[in-house]
Amino acid sequence: MKTPADLVDLSGKVVVVTGAGRGIGAGIARRCSEAGASVVAHSRSTGSAPLPGPAAAVQADLTADGAPAAVVGAALEAFGRIDGLVNNAGIQPRSSFADLDDASWAEMIDTDLTAVHRMTRAVAAQMAQQGGGGSIVHIASIEGRQPAPFHGHYATAKAGLIMHARAAALEYGPDGIRVNTVSPGLIDRPGLEDDWPEGVARWHAAAPLGRMGTPEDVGDACVFLLSGLARWVSGADLVVDGGVLAHPTW
């Protein structure tokens, strides 16, 4: 019988990570690589950091026609198959609803929701063609459950991702394909405390575990969902927020 250490080993698997050029996406790609996966690191324009294991890089605007097929094609050219997909690429502009024009709304939905659907559809078709099986993870947000001021369009898109994963889990389950979401809380980045000191202070006060998250925290959740340890987990939303959603809001 396999041990837990064997089940979390991603050796022999090929994982596509979108938005892997920096931040959360770079952390996810690094953790997948450290777990033994061959990683296809997508970015829109910035490239990706070196990884410890086998890796290929691909650049594409995922809202453009043909982009999902190009990413799938790059993965197949490099490694011959796809076993996992982490849909991380997205944007997070701020705007009140009163100031939000149709073009800005459409950009958010196209980037953070529609592009994820298109990538999921393309990769799931490839997984089914390979004989079935695989794991797809959407990076949502705790704002998909509880919105923040001036993030209404972002929260709407992330809530859509949570339901998209549940619906995709239902449809792709017969092919052995699992689909889940990871919903991070506030993730630290260089300069965040200088740029938003009051927000960071409020987060520390609200988080039972007393700190912001790291890209590696999100990456470890993704490795779990991509691995054999999560073999019977599909349609779930894994919240990675240091306990903030457990904090009373009244």
| 13 is annotated as an active-site residue | no
Instruction: Judge if pTM exceeds 0.85.
Output: yes
| 158 is annotated as an active-site residue | yes
The two tokens of residue 182 are 């990871």
Catalytic residue chosen out of the listed positions 38, 48, 135, 158: 158
Catalytic residue chosen out of the listed positions 38, 48, 141, 227: 141
pLDDT, tens digit only, all 250 positions of the chain: 565 666 789 999 999 999 999 999 999 999 999 999 999 999 998 777 789 999 999 999 999 999 999 999 999 999 999 999 999 999 999 999 999 999 999 999 999 999 999 999 999 999 999 999 999 999 999 999 999 899 999 999 999 999 999 999 999 999 999 999 999 999 999 988 888 888 899 999 989 999 999 999 999 999 999 999 999 999 999 999 999 999 887 7
User: What backbone torsions phi and psi does residue 239 show, to the nearest 5 degrees?
Assistant: -85, 125
Name all domains of the chain by residue range, CATH numbers in brackets: 4-240 (3.40.50.720)
| 141 is annotated as an active-site residue | yes
Q: Where does residue 88 fall: left (phi above 0), alpha (psi -120 to 50 degrees), or beta otherwise?
A: alpha
Catalytic residue chosen out of the listed positions 135, 154, 227, 234: 154
**Contact between 143 and 151 (Cβ < 8 Å):** yes
Instruction: Characterize 63-90 residue by residue with b for buried, 16 or more Cβ atoms within 10 angstroms of its Cβ, and e for exposed.
Output: eeeebbebbbebbeebbebbbbbbbbbb
User: What backbone torsions phi and psi does residue 211 show, to the nearest 5 degrees?
Assistant: -155, 165
